[in-house]
Amino acid sequence: MTLGHSEVPWQRQFGPDSLLLTYENHASESESEAPSAAPPLRSGAQNHTLAGGVGAGVGAAAQRERPAAEQGGWRNSWRRVEAQLEVHAEVTEQRLQAVEQLGLEREAALQRKLTQEQHETNRVLAACKRQIQEIRREQQRAEHSNRVWIEFHQKRAYDNWMRVCSLERTLEEERRETGRLRQLVGVSVKLIEFQFSRGSPTCSDPDTDDSASHPHLNNGSPSGLATPLNNLRPDVSTSLIGRPIYALQ
């Protein structure tokens, strides 16, 4: 009994990957069951001896035809398996090519993306460098401006300090001058009072004599003064800075 296309048990039990191994095992079993090589020719006596076994040889030939039919079925099965393997190999190769193509496309896309990111990073880096340079220039300009401003204020403060020192010296000199003027005014007032006290009338008619002998005296002013005491005191009692003498003392 030969095995048909649907009667191959190893096709149902195993997948395409183990078909070759299973076929080799069955082929080795078939070879072990097959008859050995034909015996060599023998002599006539031996042929007569074997004549009785012709009937048995016919039965053996029938038995040999059966493995040959089985071997034909195995060959057909192997061809189908080989065709399936070829189809599977072609599909696998196509899938491999598709995967390789997809990998190449993805690699190219990643390379483009990486290049774009590198360009973007370089652009951002260049912009940051320009901003840093601008900030440094602004900082240098600000430092220079602040330095000039500080030097200006230092010079101005020094000038103000020198002016204040000069004003303090001038004020001190004016104070000393005011003190001397106070002393002079005090001495002048005392001298005038002393002269006024000595110029009181003691004779019956001294004014006429003094007026006659001293024509520069007016209204008989005492002690030889050119002006009366009442007219002199307001001028003498006022200092050079416009304040009364008693206010300065």
Q: Tens-digit pLDDT profile for the chain (249 aa)?
A: 444 444 444 444 444 444 444 545 545 554 454 444 444 444 444 554 444 454 455 455 555 656 666 666 777 888 888 888 999 999 999 999 999 999 999 999 999 999 999 999 999 999 999 999 999 999 999 999 999 999 999 999 999 999 999 999 999 999 999 999 999 999 999 999 888 888 754 444 445 444 444 444 444 444 444 444 444 444 444 444 444 444 444
Termini Cα distance of the chain: 162
Closest CA to 226 of 238, 211, 246: 211
* Angle at 188 (CA atoms; ends 182, 194), nearest 5 degrees: 135
Tokens describing residue 64: 């040999």
Closest CA to 28 of 59, 74, 64, 69: 74
Cα separation, 126 vs 114, whole angstroms: 18
| Domain residue spans of the chain | 212-249
Is the pTM here over 0.75, yes or no? no
Cα separation, 164 vs 167, whole angstroms: 5
Residue 39 DSSP label:
P
Return the half-sphere exposure (C-beta side, CA atoms, 13 A cut-off) of residue 91. Answer: 6
